[in-house]
Structure formats: structure tokens, C-alpha cells
Amino acid sequence: MKAITISNFRSRTKYYFDTVINSSEILIIPRYNDEEDESVVIMSLKEYNSLQETNYLMSTTANRE
């Protein structure tokens, strides 16, 4: 995970999108002074789908055991 400022993200959006897609790195962009509840997470669709699949599989008792 990498935290960057929103200003940095705005000025280098393509670079960060390419980085996220090519390395599966997750970006955290705080909107206000380090308040976690006010942050945005950017991840690749591949990574997101993987998390969703894991959540789905772990939602049943049979798969958790």
C-alpha cells in the first residue's frame, strides 16, 4: 500500500493508474489531514475481483471450515 496526496495524484493520474494495474499496488489518498475515514482507495479491477471472490467463498460455513 502506498499513500499519496490528492495533489500528487491529480498531477500524475496516468502514472498512478499504470502503477496500480502493473504492480497490483493499492493506493490510499487521504482527503483531509490523515483522517482514515476520509480516504479513498484505488486498486486494480483484478485485485478487487479477487477480494470479492474471497469474500463470497468465505461467506458460507462449509468454505470457512
User: CATH number of the domain that 60 lies in?
Assistant: 3.40.1620.10
CA distance 19 to 3: 13
| Average pLDDT for 18-22 | 95
pLDDT band (50, 70, 90) for residue 17: very high
The count of structural domains within the chain is 1
pLDDT value, residue 35: 60
**Comparing 34 with 65, which gets the higher pLDDT?**
65
Cα–Cα separations (whole angstroms), residue 6 to 9, 12, 35, 60: 5, 10, 13, 38
Reported pTM: 0.75
pLDDT value, residue 53: 94
| Residue pLDDT, tens place only, 26-43 | 999 988 765 667 889 999
Range of the structural domain that residue 57 is part of: 2-64
